Amino acid sequence: MADRTQPAGDGVPQENHGVPGDAAVPVPAAPTADAERATAPLDGAEDGQDQASSRRAGRRSSDRRSRKKRPDTFWGSAREILLVLVWAVLIAFVVKTLLVRGFYIPSGSMENTLQLNDRIFVNVLEPTFGPLERGDIVVFEDAKGWLPAQPDSGGGPTDAVYDALAFVGVLPDRTDQHLIKRVIGIGGDTVACCDASGRVTVNGEALEEQDAYLHPGSAPSELEFEVEVPENHYFVLGDHRDASADARVHLAEIADNGAFISHDDVVGTAFVIAWPLDRFQLLQNPDEVFADVADRSAGGS
């Protein structure tokens, strides 16, 4: 019986009776799927918190950079705008001095060609090339005192700004020191009124002004006169003869050439009505009115 052996590993569990050295060691249980699902969001939350913190830090950094750049951007834009304005004023001043100049019409003396409050541009370059032509519409300085003295209104800040902008050519000149009329006679011409038909004559040639530019209903002149225009001077009349205090009114001052405009006082010739827009038009010289007039200064009779 002692030789009987017992098969090993018969699968019958052996009971541990607490033999020293054989203490049971607990084995960690494998995590279940539920545990994995429960712990996974914790890792994602940490990642999300890190990303959110990074974004906030990035925004703060971007805000700091924006605050640093904003002053530079503002002053840079301000400098650019100021530079553009300075260049605009300089260009306007050069254009006014060398090319064109703006004026507004304060009276009806040139109706219907020019009407009250029309804005016109004047070619200031043309007088530098020589004498003007008969029929030109000319702006000139009131060097002979044709206009009555105007009281000094004192003006205000608005007037001062307007006058400054007008001086550099940005706005039309509205000062009272200029007049605008039409050239009828040039140096050497004999201008007279009137022939048997009531027309103005230049060097004996009658002018057909009525349909060309004369205000409807206006006579060529209610005053009789005959004058010889000095060299380098002009005899000028308004298109609305009944409402124009032109050269005819100053014939008594003829001894001092008060009835004539010096070429040196000419600002330029009007070439366009620029405002209002419904009045926009180019101003043409009515050559046909003076086509048959002989040039006395060139040896005409």
Token look-up 């006579």 returns: 219
| Exposure letters 31-64 (e unless 16+ CB within 10 A, then b) | eeeeeeeeeeeeeeeeeeeeeeeeeeeeeeeeee
Across-strand partners of 123? 100, 269
Three-state SS for 95?
Answer: helix
Catalytically annotated residue among 109, 218, 221, 244: 109
Q: Is 109 a catalytic residue?
A: yes
Three-state SS for 268?
Answer: strand
User: Which residue type is seen at 27?
Assistant: V
Q: Is 197 a catalytic residue?
A: no
Quote the CA–CA distance of 164 and 175 in Å, as a whole number: 12
Catalytically annotated residue among 96, 181, 221, 244: 181
The total of other beta-carbon atoms located within 10 Å of residue 75's CB is 10
Token look-up 């009137």 returns: 194
Quote the CA–CA distance of 190 and 295 in Å, as a whole number: 10
Token look-up 């020293």 returns: 20
Q: Which residues are catalytic?
A: 109, 181
